[in-house]
Amino acid sequence: MYPQEQLVVASVLISAVGYWLFHKNRDAAFKRRWWPWFIIMGDLLVLGIVWRMHLPMPVYGIMIPSVLAVTMANLRNVKFCNACGRTILMKSTSSGQIAYCPYCGTRLID
């Protein structure tokens, strides 16, 4: 299997597993524990496959900081509601981060 095919298969598998573990699952404690590992391992897997494509070095100079920025955003902006267990993408508003779960109304920020 070529690296390009591996990248497609890995991306589909990561997305499917991530959807099941972090959107269908309602266990907030589980999500909080495993979300950073899932994000970091998924990104390392994708970077490893891309590395095998032997692309020109400037591509990696752009790609690696971009992946790091997305990783940091995923780690900082995704929260899990203690009450309903839903995954919440924290969007910045003019007044800062959202303070209440959009699904059940529980206060998220103390």
Site of interaction with Zn ion (CB under 5 A): 81, 83-84, 101, 103-104, 106
Region for residue 96 given its phi and psi (left: phi exceeds 0; alpha: psi -120 to 50; beta: otherwise): left
Q: At its nearest, how many Å lie between Zn ion and the CB of residue 106? A: 5
Q: Give whichever of 51 and 103 is closer to Zn ion, judged by the CB atom.
A: 103
Q: Give whichever of 64 and 84 is closer to Zn ion, judged by the CB atom.
A: 84
Q: At its nearest, how many Å lie between Zn ion and the CB of residue 91? A: 15
* Tokens coding 58: 């400037």
CB neighbour burial string for 36-52, b if at least 16 within 10 angstroms, e if fewer: eebbeebbebbeebbee
- The identity of residue 77, as a single letter, is N
Q: At its nearest, how many Å lie between Zn ion and the CB of residue 30? A: 15
Q: Give whichever of 72 and 89 is closer to Zn ion, judged by the CB atom.
A: 89
Helix (H) or strand (E) segment spanning residue 96: strand 96-97
Q: Counting every residue, how long is the chain?
A: 110
Q: Give whichever of 32 and 52 is closer to Zn ion, judged by the CB atom.
A: 32
Q: At its nearest, how many Å lie between Zn ion and the CB of residue 79? A: 10
